[in-house]
Structure 1
Amino acid sequence: MSESILFRPLSIRGVTIRNRIWVAPMCQYSAEACDGMTTDWHLVHLGSFGQGGAGLVITEATAVSPEGRISPQDLGIWNDEQTQAFRRITDFLHGQGATTGIQLAHAGRKASTYRPWAPERGTVPMDAGGWPTVAPSPIAFPGYATPGELDTAAIDGVVDDFVAAALRSIDAGFDVLEIHAAHGYLIHQFLSPLSNERTDEYGGSLENRARLLLRIVGETRAAVGEDVPLLVRFSATDWVDDGWNEEQTATVAAWAKDGGADVFDISSGGNMTGVTIPVSPGYQVPLAEYVAANGDVPVSAVGLITTAAQAAEIVDEGRADAVMLGREMLRDPHFALRAAHELGVTVDYWPAQYERSAWPA
């Protein structure tokens, strides 16, 4: 296992990532002042992954506008104060040898909700700090308020917000950008015919439903230049007949690659409730394989990847170019270093304070 591809660097445009073990974006709902600002929690949370040897550390879904937040406690990057606050985190991660990434997001009809551990559920009312939500069509996500339908001028504004947030992200020290087009948030809402009933240039055909994403990808690429890696996270399927599916994902991924995107982070679900998802170890890896094969694009795989051997097998067999870990990273922020130890791989980025852990047991 010492030759596992899992620990080989991966170069994307002007950035080289030290290994193929990447930290998936995971919302923390911990901007306690409801101002989108990072706190000590985010520094320690994200910083621990850099100490732990991860190759790429991606922040949680970070809103490109105040109304794009999932909850009032989400992070944002719509102003200069937020941009500068992120610097403390990116500087620390770079000091640990990690590559920094940020997931840029707009929650659409799933915005203005209570964070998961709040006693309340559903949409936060205006008098409690909530705000009106928007979507491609005025179709409510079950249990949430009905959103307003975005007109074309407002769609132009969303594109502008993503581009401005991308530029701020570079100023904040992020090496990699990821556009969030998954999990039932705004871009996914446009992509899926189950949440998009528009009859204009943003609805109907696959080309029209993909128009918002492709505009964001193309205009972001033009703004940030040719050296910045650009990822797109997709939900490959709604897990519903007649919904968004793997075939459409592969097609749109290929279009996005032509427009300037580089790697596609393949997850699933989130746009519809009451669906049956066949959850098991690595259950979304076949979705990543399908998109890679049929879209001819590089992919990362995510979803119940929990052991070093499993992660190595996925990459070594060519099923994905990298693995994204979420909950397992929460259980063990030093998963990457532990994986190197378990697989007998020598790496040169053990923190000096922890280096004794690299010695044979």
Structure 2
Amino acid sequence: MLYTPIKFRNVELKNRWVMSPMCMYSCEDGLANDFHFVHYGSRAQGGTGLLIVEATGVEPRGRITNHCMGIWNDEQAERLKRIVEFVHFYSESKIGIQLAHSGRKGSTWNNVQIPLEEGWETVAPSSIPYHPSERIPHALTKEEIREQVQYFKEAARRAVSAGFDVIEIHAAHGYLVHQFLSPLSNIRTDEYGGSFENRIRFLLEIVDAVNEELDQEVALFVRISGTEYAENGWDVEDSTRLAAELKKHSVDLVDVSSGGNIHGAKIPVHQGYQVPFSSEVRNGAGVQTAAVGLITEVDQAESILQSGKADLIFIAREILRNPYTAVHGAFEKKESCFFPHQYARAKISS
């Protein structure tokens, strides 16, 4: 299955390997540069079915750091378009972008909040900082929530114009959308807080707004945290309920990660530790999912797919170590995978 195609809307991936979005902290003013061109281009040469560009801020306050990527203006989208065009012309990979807002976890460097004069006032559903030592975030008003939805919509429009094949909404890892989902970070008393239905409202409004900018040529994914590893917090049962709702709102795949919203949460990290969350969400909600989290071997990835625990395999650190993960796996399994014709002399025959 790992080397069989899969289609989302009209977007066909040649295989199930996906480069997970990973922040590179290498932008100035949110602009992609030559590093990003080489970084993403090299992974496309490695045969990966889909690349997803790192968490990209939908507004300046949506960045995690001053050096994170942005897509709140047309200049940023034009820089990204150059990368997209290279990937499309010189490989068989598809390319997506993760639209994100850091919320209360922004204005940081090396996981430490930077002074206000060097950063910005963070925003959140409620006036609760991620860590008690941090500044209290500004609680968004209902009008400001509507503005945030519009930021995501405008970012999606720019991403489509730049030629991206997939849009992923970042609703995981304790960033703004996740902050709305969790009853531990969202204590609002209006229609965006309280009940499960109210806490997922912000995400569903974003999904609907983004879908207005998409057609059958661009697929929509959502990344969630399957659990936040905290008592009375967001858990895998909530994630399964949410995934069923996302399916109704034309989301094509749910990318299931975990954690990030509760400081000091104890996370039992081991090989494939997040795969059970993907499995439960996939089979409980009847949706397509992606598995992520210390997946490093081709046999491991194949087993996850064959056992019905996921539909795509997202890899992160492993593809940083080895941009040719997909190609090497194909050599090992004697499967077909894109290999640059410029490098044909190095191809291992089947």
Q: Does residue 19 of structure 2 align to residue 23 of structure 1?
A: yes
Deviation at 1:225? 2.9
- The CA deviation string for residues 244-270 of structure 1, in whole angstroms up to 9 with x for no partner, is 000101111111110121100000000
**2:223 alignment partner, SS class:** strand
Q: Matches of 1:127 and 1:134 in 2, distance apart?
A: 16
**1:104 alignment partner, SS class:** strand
- The CA deviation string for residues 123-173 of structure 1, in whole angstroms up to 9 with x for no partner, is 222322x01000000000114321000000000000000000001001111
Equivalenced residues, count: 348
Q: Counterpart of 2:237?
A: 247
Identity of aligned residues (%): 47
Q: Matches of 2:296 and 2:10 in 1, distance apart?
A: 30
Q: Does residue 196 of structure 2 align to residue 206 of structure 1?
A: yes
5 Å matches for 1:30-49?
30-31=26-27, 33=28, 35-49=29-43
- Alpha carbons 1:265, 1:299 under 8 Å: kept: yes
- Of 100, 124, 128, which residue of structure 1 is paired with 2:114? 124
Q: Does residue 270 of structure 2 align to residue 280 of structure 1?
A: yes
- Alpha carbons 2:221, 2:254 under 8 Å: kept: yes
Runs of 4+ more than 3 Å apart: none
- Alpha carbons 1:62, 1:75 under 8 Å: kept: yes
Q: Matches of 2:218 and 2:33 in 1, distance apart?
A: 26
- Of 65, 69, 93, which residue of structure 1 is paired with 2:87? 93
Deviation at 1:273? 1.7
Q: Matches of 1:223 and 1:156 in 2, distance apart?
A: 17
- Alpha carbons 2:71, 2:77 under 8 Å: kept: yes
Q: Counterpart of 2:7?
A: 11
- Alpha carbons 1:234, 1:266 under 8 Å: kept: yes
Q: Counterpart of 2:107?
A: 112
Q: Does residue 172 of structure 2 align to residue 177 of structure 1?
A: no
Q: Counterpart of 1:141?
A: 130
Deviation at 1:97? 1.4
Q: Does residue 52 of structure 2 align to residue 71 of structure 1?
A: no
Q: Counterpart of 2:341?
A: 352
Letter in 1 for 2:318: E
Taking structure 2 as the reference length, the TM-score comes to: 0.97
Letter in 2 for 1:27: C
Q: Which runs of 5+ in 2 are unaligned?
A: none
Q: Counterpart of 2:301?
A: 311
Letter in 2 for 1:99: K
- The CA deviation string for residues 298-335 of structure 1, in whole angstroms up to 9 with x for no partner, is 00000000011111111122211010000000000110
- The CA deviation string for residues 47-95 of structure 1, in whole angstroms up to 9 with x for no partner, is 1110000000000000000111000100000101011111110011112
**2:206 alignment partner, SS class:** helix
**2:112 alignment partner, SS class:** coil
Taking structure 1 as the reference length, the TM-score comes to: 0.94
- Alpha carbons 2:182, 2:199 under 8 Å: kept: yes
- The alignment yields a C-alpha RMSD, in angstroms, of 1.2
Q: Matches of 1:275 and 1:67 in 2, distance apart?
A: 25
Deviation at 1:360? 4.5
Letter in 2 for 1:171: S
- Alpha carbons 2:165, 2:217 under 8 Å: kept: no
Q: Matches of 1:271 and 1:354 in 2, distance apart?
A: 44
Q: Matches of 2:8 and 2:48 in 1, distance apart?
A: 16
Q: Matches of 1:80 and 1:360 in 2, distance apart?
A: 45
Q: Which runs of 5+ in 1 are unaligned?
A: none
